[in-house]
Amino acid sequence: MKNILTALLFCFLLSSVDAQDITGKWKGLLKMQGMELNLYFNIMKKGGDYSATLDVPKQGATGIEVTAIILEDATLNISVGGLGIAYSGMVKNDTLIKGEFKQMSMLLPLDLKKVTDEATVLIRPQTPRPPFPYQEEKITFRNTKDQITLAGTLTLPRELTDFPTVVLISGSGPQNRNSEIFGHQPFWVIADHLTRRGIGVLRFDERGVGDSEGNFSAATSVDFAEDVHAAVRYLKSRKDISNGEIGLIGHSEGGAIAPMVASDPGTVDFIILLAGPGLPGKELMLLQKSVIEKASGLPAPMIERGQVVMGGAYDKIIRTNDQATTLKDSLTAYFRTSYNNLMPEDQLDAITNQLSSPWMVNFIQHDPAPILAKVTVPVLALNGEKDLQVPAQENLTAIETALNNGENATFSTKIFPGLNHLFQSCETGLVNEYGALEETFSEDVLKEITEWIQKL
């Protein structure tokens, strides 16, 4: 009788679990390295299958696709493949799931509670709102060298016949025409500000992104420079802007691409570098790693060890003439030796894939100085004082040296206090602040850009 009652009770518990409703919004507080981060899983069910999205409001990320979600025997497993995130939890009742969050080698406790009255709304006051006092046109142009069509938006001032026009060049990673990141759309903010003040702006989806053709993952900065060349040729073909000056505004990697294009005589009339690199790729990456880790509170011996290990990896990349697969194998063996076979395989695979990609190899091998020395048109180079990705002083000094070596007579540099890599007013400059900040792009920097162009 006791066994029968136990079996009946077990069946009852199972049926109770199966009857629980896990659809809805679930909130969890992730605590790591002194930081707190709210995560939201939005779980839906259609037929017998679950689907979900992930929101991280503090980082400006919403609607991240969950690649797998399974509920089995009261255990919920969620995977977000693109970010290397996995969550496993026990469904306690309709309002509580107790579990663990994993990303790469990091494993942290994370309990989820169902919420009904919280909206993950991002506050972005600078995002432009219609009506707009200028002409806005969806356009396409052709990169004839690589046989791809790129799509973008052209904004032009009304009732003007002779005005400057700029092409916006985005930073690393696949970016759409608004250079959207963490819910911010800085290129839209820049375009709106400039066009309202009589400056035309072309911004476009990078190859393989949005409405543009091409393969982003196989491209390097040299390929992206060809896309910018195509954008400039398109602007010069238009009768309504052909009388005005044409310039480039590049952010981050875009600040390395702009000089590549401008070094070709007669292509453009001026360039603006926003957090553009002046140091060679290896030096920049090691400096970036060091300052970010220091700002994150990592111990000095760990930072120093990372400099040695990654410096050795970058040296391999600089020396390589091999195919990516051969380089990947070489880097895999190097990291296994460097870390005494203690690096987890998923982490090892992720880092060697990244370092052996065409873009990364080109970036590490690239030195901006010889190209900057060939730029004879006016240059404005701006950085934020708290930029941890392209540290201001070191990179602006290198840019100034290269331009002086090339005897460029018309250039100006400036560091803005308290601004990060995205030119937001910030506290630390760390990436985890980007999405939490409401400001998209400093008004002071927008004013500086506008006035400099207008004085040319």
What's the pLDDT tens digit per position in 13-63? Answer: 333 334 467 899 999 998 876 678 889 999 998 877 889 999 888 777 778
Give the pLDDT confidence of 198-208 residue by residue, as tens digits: 999 999 999 99
Give the mean model confidence (pLDDT) for residues 261-274. Answer: 97
pTM for this predicted structure: 0.81
Give the pLDDT confidence of 166-212 residue by residue, as tens digits: 999 999 999 999 999 888 999 999 999 999 999 999 999 999 999 99
CA 302 to chain centre: 26
Mean pLDDT, the chain, integer: 90
Q: Which of 15-19, 122-126, 347-351, 381-385 has the highest mean pLDDT?
A: 381-385
For residues 204 and 214, give the distance between their C-alpha atoms in angstroms, rounded to a whole number.
Answer: 13
Residue 15: what pLDDT? 35
For residue 1, is pLDDT > 60? no
Residue 49: what pLDDT? 86
Calculate helix-pair angle for 300-319, 324-338, nearest 10 degrees.
150
Residue 7: what pLDDT? 38
For residues 206 and 227, give the distance between their C-alpha atoms in angstroms, rounded to a whole number.
Answer: 8
Residue 17 bridge partners (DSSP): none
Give the pLDDT confidence of 63-73 residue by residue, as tens digits: 888 999 999 88
Quote the CATH superfamily of domain 134-280+366-455: Alpha/Beta hydrolase fold, catalytic domain (3.40.50.1820)
For residues 456 and 451, give the distance between their C-alpha atoms in angstroms, rounded to a whole number.
Answer: 9
21-115 is a CATH 2.40.128.20 domain: yes
Among 401, 399, 441, 450, CA closest to 421: 441
Q: What does the domain layout of the chain look like in residue ranges?
A: 21-115, 134-280+366-455, 281-363
SS (H, E, C) the chain: CHHHHHHHHHHHHHHHHHHCCCCEEEEEEEEECCEEEEEEEEEEEECCEEEEEEEEHHHCEEEEECCEEEEECCEEEEEEHHHCEEEEEEEEECCEEEEEEEECCEEEEEEEEEECCCCCCCCCCCCCCCCCCEEEEEEEEEECCCCEEEEEEEEEECCCCCCCEEEEECCCCCCCCCCCECCECHHHHHHHHHHHCCCEEEEECCCCCCCCCCCCCCCCHHHHHHHHHHHHHHHHHCCCCCCCCEEEEEECCHHHHHHHHHCCCCCCCEEEEECCCCCCHHHHHHHHHHHHHHHCCCCHHHHHHHHHHHHHHHHHHHHCCCCHHHHHHHHHHHHHHHCCCCCCHHHHHHHHHHHCCHHHHHHHHCCHHHHHCCCCCCEEEEEECCCCCCCHHHHHHHHHHHHHHCCCCCEEEEEECCECCCCCECCCCCHHHCCCCCCCCCHHHHHHHHHHHHHC
Give the mean model confidence (pLDDT) for residues 90-113. Answer: 89
Same-fold call for 21-115 versus 134-280+366-455: no
Q: Quick one: pLDDT band at residue 118, thresholds 50, 70, 90?
A: low
For residue 6, is pLDDT > 60? no
Residue 344: what pLDDT? 84
Give the pLDDT confidence of 399-422 residue by residue, as tens digits: 999 999 999 999 999 999 999 999
